[in-house]
Amino acid sequence: MKLMDILRVKGTTVYCITPSATLADVVQKLVEHKIGSLVVREDLGPRLGRVLGIITERDVLKACARGERPLCEQAVAECMTNEIVTGSPLDSIDETMGLMTEHRIRHLPVMDGEELKGMISIGDVVKAHHHMAVVENHYLKSYIQS
């Protein structure tokens, strides 16, 4: 199973924000959409700008812990992760699980070159891995019983 298979089932909607938005805007969007991360893009107009980074719940918590200024005064650009780890639609579930574990990340933008194809969470990967194990188990039991 590949990441494109997960996206085919899950969908390709990715919620984004600009670097000039505030962390209060980030919190509002995360809560509104019940998600844990936003992709940071140059522009959110009809022609989406290039991907600049990602901002996650963890980034917001770090900003809170620093306590420098209120969230409504801190820009996304100050707190986002610039060097993001990405996956490809052709990456396997096992490769992706290893990558996310190695980098200790829970959200993985799926890119095809410069084009953002979707977002995969660790929950999506675990669900797909579990599904593959259940199917394999079923076929092995059927084989043994026949």
User: pLDDT tens for residues 35-86?
Assistant: 999 999 987 766 677 899 999 999 999 999 998 899 999 999 999 999 999 9
Indicate whether 134 pLDDT > 80: no
Q: What is the pLDDT of residues 1-28, one digit of tens each?
A: 899 999 999 999 999 999 999 999 999 9
Structure tokens at 41: 């893009």
Look over the chain and give the mean of its residue pLDDT values, rounded to a whole number. Answer: 91
CB atoms within 10 A of CB 5: 15
> Homologous superfamily of 3-145 in CATH?
CBS-domain (3.10.580.10)
Q: What is the pTM of this model?
A: 0.84
Q: Answer yes or no: is pLDDT of 135 > 80.
A: no
pLDDT for the residue numbered 46? 62
Helix (H, G, I), strand (E, B) or coil at 90: coil
Spatial distance between the Cα atoms of 21 and 41, rounded to a whole number of angstroms: 11
* Rounded distance between C-alpha atoms, residue 23 and residue 30, angstroms: 10
DSSP annotation of 105 = -
Residue 111, pLDDT > 70, answer yes
The reported pLDDT for the residue numbered 142 is 77
Q: What is the pLDDT of residue 140?
A: 74
In DSSP terms, 110 is beta-bridged to 87, 118
Fill in the amino acid letter for 47. Answer: R
